[in-house]
């Protein structure tokens, strides 16, 4: 499925808000564990309404991908995504071995472009909005 995120130079943000043009990247099954869905599913209002009806908090239990907004994003740090830099700094470098999950955006992922496999190891730790935040 062709998405807006496929067409931008800065790549795809794996922690984007759900909005027209973004896609469902995966489901946060547990803390630090994401069930990635491929191919990614386009976000629709109908889908978001259904999640809301089911009591699924989208910014906490779902992960969406969309266009990297570059300098228009609060996480942008000069020429790169500052968020994944901090995530990797916190969780550390991966050992570079072991299979990676089948992720639908890796070829264009902004985080993967900056940190490679290490970004994939830390990616499941990110939730956008925990309860009470």
Using CB under 8 A, pick the residue from 4, 6, 8, 56 that binds another protein.
56
Site membership for another protein, residue 25 (CB under 8 A):
no
Query: SS3 for 40-100, per residue?
Result: EEECCHHHHHHHHHCCCCHHHHEEEEEECCHHHCCCEECCEEHHHHHHHHHHCCCCCCCCC
* Residue 116: both structure tokens together: 């490679």
Q: Which of 7, 17, 52, 93 touches another protein by CB under 8 A?
A: 17
Burial class (CB in 10 A: 0-12, 13-18, 19+), 51: middle
| Contact between 104 and 38 (Cβ < 8 Å) | yes
Q: Are 115 and 86 spatial neighbours (Cβ–Cβ below 8 Å)?
A: no
Site membership for another protein, residue 116 (CB under 8 A): no
CB 127 within 8 A of CB 96: no
Q: Among 7, 52, 101, 107, which residue interacts with another protein (rule: CB under 8 A)?
A: 101
Binding of residue 13 to another protein (CB under 8 A): yes
User: x-or-dash pattern for another protein, window 76-95, by CB under 8 A?
Assistant: -------x--xx--x-----
Number of residues that bind another protein (CB under 8 A): 56
Please select the residue that binds another protein; options are 7, 20, 44, 92, rule is CB under 8 A.
Answer: 44
Residues in contact with another protein by CB under 8 A are 1, 13-17, 22, 24, 27-32, 35, 37, 41-42, 44, 46-47, 50-51, 54-57, 60-62, 66-69, 72-75, 83, 86-87, 90, 98-102, 125-133
């Amino acid at each position: 499925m062709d998405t807006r995120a496929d067409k931008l130079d800065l790549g795809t943000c794996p922690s984007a808000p759900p909005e027209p043009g973004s896609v469902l990247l995966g489901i946060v099954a547990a803390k630090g564990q994401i069930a990635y869905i491929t191919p990614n599913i386009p976000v629709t209002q109908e889908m978001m309404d259904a999640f809301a009806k089911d009591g699924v908090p989208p910014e906490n239990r779902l992960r969406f991908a969309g266009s990297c907004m570059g300098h228009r994003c609060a996480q942008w740090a000069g020429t790169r995504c500052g968020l994944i830099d901090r995530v990797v700094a916190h969780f550390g470098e991966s050992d570079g071995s072991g299979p990676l999950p089948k992720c639908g955006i890796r070829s264009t992922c902004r985080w993967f472009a900056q940190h490679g496999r290490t970004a994939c190891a830390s990616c499941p730790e990110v939730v956008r909005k925990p309860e009470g935040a």
